[in-house]
Amino acid sequence: MAIRDDLLTQITTNLSSYSAFKVSNELPFNSSDTPLYQKNMKTVYVDEQFQDVTEYAPTFSQDVMQTETTVSAYLTTDAKNQPSDIDSVVNAILDARTGIANVFQTSSQVESEIADDYITYNFEFNFTNL
């Protein structure tokens, strides 16, 4: 199973107690030049996963390769009327990285951007595997 699928499942599980928020299986495409996560506020969209394979350590018999997988996710809310539990929701999304099995190292971070009346949270998840 792909890391994106596992991450979607974990985010859905982590947000199950927050009834005002949803998780979409769709990719965050644009519809009429507007990203879906801005059209459907309070819905988390997880982008495609991107992999970078590099040599971790050369050996005599074969090289040990390192795979770095990056997955982005997006959530938009109304900037003027933020949900009272938004901090808990953001932390629950960030914690979804801990539910991904068979990875050597994980990290997650979030940046927020305010444009017009929207605040968009841009999540980045990084997974390293040998």
The mean pLDDT values, 10 residues at a time, for the chain of 130 residues are 91 96 94 90 96 74 82 96 96 96 93 94 94
Contact 80, 91 (CB under 8 A): no
Taking domain 3-129, whether its CATH number is 3.30.2000.10 is answered by yes
Work out the number of other CB atoms within 10 angstroms of the CB of residue 46.
25
- Give the pairing of strands 43-57 and 22-24: parallel
Helices (H), 74-127: 86-94
Given its phi and psi angles, is residue 119 left (phi above 0), alpha (psi -120 to 50 degrees) or beta?
Answer: beta
Q: What is the pTM of this model?
A: 0.89
Rounded Cα distance between 66 and 55, Å, is 6
Backbone angles phi, psi at 60, to 5 degrees: -70, -35
Output the six-digit token pair for 39. Answer: 């059209």
- pLDDT for res 8: 97
Domains in the chain: boundaries: 3-129
